[in-house]
Structure 1
């Protein structure tokens, strides 16, 4: 049995090592594998997955995906004529392949972000299920190699609310996709636990007395808050329902910080905030579409032929056409992920450094942008305010004040975030947990509790 953090940004797996959880190394990826996938063509994902499935799962899958498998097989033959293997890549390998040829192949980052999306058609749901299953199959295989045995039971982390806007309907859709994918690749028992609750379980192991803890999990796609009653006595109980005082969660996470920094920190050198020859402000819609990598509809609009023609006209109408040409280059060569990845890497670098030079010379010769912490904080004011509102919502629901605020998630590393939260809660201790490992460790503890 394992704790499985199928995260928006990273995936990780934990097992119990005596009385403590241990996060497994996943081959060359280390303890964390980035939640992304690259395929030479979207159509071949289903064929790769079919070949990895347990034999008992293959007949039903083949019947359900007959047309998709046939289409993928035809695509495999076309790729073979060009000497391209129909392989899938994950983690750093996926990003490397994408950056080598951004306008070739199929790259997706953070598919978990889309699972609760409104308006998904059945073929889109099947595609996301196959993408999730392919990623889970890869992680499961790496896990079993590391352990030297098969794994059939798991607890998977889930946000309080997935990224859809339809409340429980979105949650049901996302959980159904995750459950079908997990069982398809060979997990026979699948349970879920709220990610902030899991992070709280790990923090609880350090407590020596009963404590009211507001857990804030700033994940890649969502921020989730749980007010928990925790301590040694509570940790010994299997039924924790009375200890979970409140929950709140919303679609705001590390990806939104990356997108905000890309929009407000990088897009000005692509023409954002510039003017038309007429003196009017340049339209901003395409700039937002360009960086909105977690919105299927906006990305589809940005890469449409109609938007390509619009951007060509915008170049002609711009007072500084050389800037807008860069946006057109992003559109022509499918560089949205390239731009947002540059913002993400800068966000990470700003954890240790006060400023960071961003090299964008592959988009335009000599292009570089200097970003700093103050600019990052200004770019992300909306996201920071939304996180504060979620924390206050959890406090209000619980009818009590926290004695400790425990913060986890990759973005929790940022000094900008830490300073902001301390300003909002000046009289409450703020503890920064293992930025990536708290949720995985807590899921592992819960798996050990319910499956033992």
Structure 2
């Protein structure tokens, strides 16, 4: 039996096994050179026909058909009573008999109802729970490529983790349990195939506060969903460890003496900060909560930067600053709703026919409707996830370049947007202020000052983030070098190995 660490992230996920001496990265996505990382998004799709509509919907359609048949019977009866020719009366009488036979042939009515429903039904008409129960699953780059090739054949859940602490309506919580169970089972089977042993134990990383607006209730809900999903995926023993603490366990192995370390973990969906007492003498201890000096966290990650970059640099080329002919501004919610890939209800509303009609009507009362056509294309073709992904790529490229040209040809031919480092910097300022407040809060809550700083998570690679935290905010705190992408999962694997010793 083996135990693994699972970094189930907002943007990417990773699985690591620690044998007591070294880490073994489980290959998850053969389509990537760095196959141990996998995109966390899930595409649920249908290769051919959509599933049969739920029984209550079929029953409602049957009832509607029956009402129509009864109306025809009533009209035929009236025709019979009004007819004076016996032959004409027989025609109406035969028609009434046929309609009554049709009315009482329930199997035929059900088949007709299903045929009518399927004719007009799209994937968007299916509930998330029905998608999970009947659709096929594709993970990582394979799933994202399938989404790009056939967006109308399925639904992309851009970041399942972002919904765990949200206010989920009936059926959605069970649906997310099913989605995550599929992912965790895929991780477990990949580990078993590569380690050549069964895997029944996992330590899964968790943010200090899950993405959501429900506070501690949302955190509890997220843990419940993850626990149930892990059980369904075949794990018999699962524990959760806060991600910045996991990162601390990894860097602890490089320390030669007791050191207080401030860990800032900025991921795709959350930012978590902890001040912790580390020591080479304690690295084999299972319970280290007494060494945690302070922990803070909130739903504030790199995805928010991706959406901010769209609003600040791309949305203006899609009509954001247009005025109507009466001088009123275009509703700014058009563009925030367009980016809401982490809010199912808001995104479904944006993709609705009524929303598209509203945009089209707005186009008719603006002086430059051509720009709004780009927004309408995103709405009609359901390109929000693809646009947010393009923004993420631009953000990452600007870590090493001063300017990039972002091709958005899937929206409009020859549609390019130039974005430079200053644009990115401006779009990140409000986000950075919140990150720095979180760091300050952790420092204030700790009764001992840190001696070193460690920044991890995908956003830690941003020169803008490094400058703000290291040079401007904490210039006197030495920076520890480490792996920005793997430190959390390596720490989770270290903790997992302790559970089997």
> Is 2:113 the counterpart of 1:108?
no
- Per-residue deviation at 1:108? 1.0
Contact 2:275 2:450 survives alignment (8 Å): yes
The DSSP-based 3-state class of the residue aligned with 1:88 is strand
Partner of 1:12 in structure 2?
14
Partner of 1:265 in structure 2?
313
RMSD of the alignment, in Å? 2.4
Q: State which of 255, 258, 265 in structure 2 corresponds to 1:207.
A: 255
Quote the Cα distance in structure 1 between the aligned partners of 2:481 and 2:136. Answer: 39
1:32-78: CA deviation from partner (whole Å, max 9, x where unpaired): 011011122499999xxxxxxxxxxxxxxxxxxxxxxxx9xx99xx9
Contact 1:212 1:229 survives alignment (8 Å): yes
- Per-residue deviation at 1:27? 5.2
Contact 2:339 2:384 survives alignment (8 Å): yes
Partner of 1:242 in structure 2?
290
Partner of 1:23 in structure 2?
25
> Is 2:397 the counterpart of 1:349?
yes
> Is 2:380 the counterpart of 1:359?
no
Contact 1:103 1:335 survives alignment (8 Å): no
Contact 1:153 1:190 survives alignment (8 Å): yes
- Per-residue deviation at 1:408? 0.6
Partner of 1:178 in structure 2?
226
> Is 2:45 the counterpart of 1:40?
yes
TM-score (norm 1): 0.88
1:139-197: CA deviation from partner (whole Å, max 9, x where unpaired): 22222111122210110000001012222111110001001011111100001100000
Partner of 2:486 in structure 1?
437
Partner of 1:160 in structure 2?
208
Contact 1:315 1:321 survives alignment (8 Å): yes
Partner of 2:342 in structure 1?
294
- Per-residue deviation at 1:432? 5.2
Partner of 1:392 in structure 2?
440
Partner of 1:374 in structure 2?
422
> Is 2:459 the counterpart of 1:411?
yes
Quote the Cα distance in structure 1 between the aligned partners of 2:379 and 2:428. Answer: 25
Quote the Cα distance in structure 2 between the aligned partners of 1:404 and 1:160. Answer: 21
Runs (4+) of structure 1 moved beyond 4 Å? 41-46
- Consecutive unaligned residues of structure 2, counting only runs of 5 or more, are 52-113, 123-133
Quote the Cα distance in structure 2 between the aligned partners of 1:362 and 1:236. Answer: 52
Contact 2:390 2:406 survives alignment (8 Å): yes
Quote the Cα distance in structure 2 between the aligned partners of 1:429 and 1:148. Answer: 42
Quote the Cα distance in structure 1 between the aligned partners of 2:182 and 2:175. Answer: 10
Question: Would you say how many aligned residue pairs link Structure 1 and Structure 2?
Answer: 419
Q: Mark the CA change 1:45 to 1:276 in structure 2 (over 3 Å): closer, same or farther.
A: same
Partner of 1:52 in structure 2?
none
Q: Mark the CA change 1:451 to 1:326 in structure 2 (over 3 Å): closer, same or farther.
A: same
Q: Mark the CA change 1:310 to 1:27 in structure 2 (over 3 Å): closer, same or farther.
A: closer
> Is 2:146 the counterpart of 1:144?
no
Contact 2:19 2:497 survives alignment (8 Å): no
> Is 2:333 the counterpart of 1:285?
yes
1:185-229: CA deviation from partner (whole Å, max 9, x where unpaired): 110000110000001111111111111111111111111111101
